[in-house]
Every structure is written in C-alpha cells, then in structure tokens.
C-alpha cells in the first residue's frame, strides 16, 4: 500500500517555481509600450499646469495684493516686499497684503517693475518661465502678447 501512494506522488508533474524568460520579456515589453504612450502626455500636462499656476499668481493673488496696496496708498509699491512690510513713508498701509512673496512654479522670483516697462502707467509683473531668463519667449507677464 505504501508503494501505491508513493508512486502516485511521483507521477504528478512538478509545479512551476518561477516565471520563464519569455514571460518576463513580454511583461517588460508591455510596460515599455505603456510608458512610451503615457509619459509624454504626463510631461506635457505638468508644464501646462506650471504655466497655469504662474498665470494665476500674476493675474490673481499678487495682482489683487498690488491693487489693494494701490487703493490704500494711492500708488503701487516700489517693490513686492512692500506688500509684506510697510514702507517707511506709508500713510494708509493696511497690510500685510500677502503672507509671503511666492516663487514662480519653476522656483524663480517673480519680477516686478514700477513703473512698468510695458505698462507705462502701471506695473509689470512677470515670471521668467522655464528657462529662468528674462526677455525670452517663455516669459509670462501681465501684458498682452
């Protein structure tokens, strides 16, 4: 009886213990194809999101703070720091108008000019964009292109 049980166990094929090389190559190929399709779309979206965030800062939060300063003081500040700390000659300063001066989405300071180079009667507020250089085509500002 022992031999019958023992012979039955030997007749079963061995269970597979690992993936074959062909299976591994197939999985790697599928992952590569998916990455080639998905990564370019994700990269383009992140740059687009940075541009949108810069526009929101320029035309939203910082602009609102500059306009509030102008309403209170009668003119725009000489620099962005005056939105946080009252200038020495401030008469009707009701700030701080911002908690902190934000960096643009690429980690650069926003540039502010008053009076503006492009907006002669107002101010210029801009991000130097992804290349970090002022005056290039990727600059984003509060003027119409």
Tell me the CATH number at 29.
Answer: 3.30.700.10
Bond before 115 cis per omega within 30 degrees: yes
pLDDT of residue 140: 92
- 97: in domain: yes
Give the per-residue pLDDT at 5. Answer: 52
Tell me if 59 is assigned to some domain. yes
Would you say residue 32 lies in a domain? yes
Name the residue with higher pLDDT: 122 or 25: 122
Domain membership of residue 54 as a residue range: 23-141
- Domain count across the chain: 1
pLDDT digit string, tens, across residues 42-80: 776 788 888 899 999 999 999 999 999 999 998 899 999
Is 8 inside a domain boundary?
A: no
Q: Would you say residue 34 lies in a domain?
A: yes
pLDDT tens-digit series, residues 86-128: 988 878 899 899 999 999 999 999 999 999 888 888 899 999 9
135 within domain boundaries = yes
The verdict on residue 99 lying in a domain is yes
9 within domain boundaries: no
Which stretch of DSSP H or E encloses residue 126?
Answer: strand 124-127
The pLDDT score that the predictor gives to residue 14 is 67
Gap between the Cα atoms of 43 and 74, Å rounded: 44
């Amino acid at each position: 009886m022992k031999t019958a049980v023992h012979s039955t166990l030997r007749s079963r094929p061995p269970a597979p213990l690992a993936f074959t090389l062909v299976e591994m190559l197939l999985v790697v190929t599928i992952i590569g194809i998916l990455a080639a399709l998905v990564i370019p779309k994700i990269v383009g979206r992140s740059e687009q999101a940075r541009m949108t965030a810069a526009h929101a800062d320029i035309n939203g939060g910082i602009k609102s703070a500059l306009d509030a300063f102008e309403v209170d003081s009668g003119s725009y500040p000489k620099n962005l720091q005056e939105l946080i700390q009252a200038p020495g000659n401030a008469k009707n300063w009701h700030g701080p108008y911002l908690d902190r001066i934000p960096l643009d989405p690429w980690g650069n300071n926003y540039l502010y000019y008053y009076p503006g180079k492009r907006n002669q009667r107002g101010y210029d507020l801009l991000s130097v964009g992804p290349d970090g250089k002022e005056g290039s085509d990727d600059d984003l500002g509060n003027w119409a292109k």
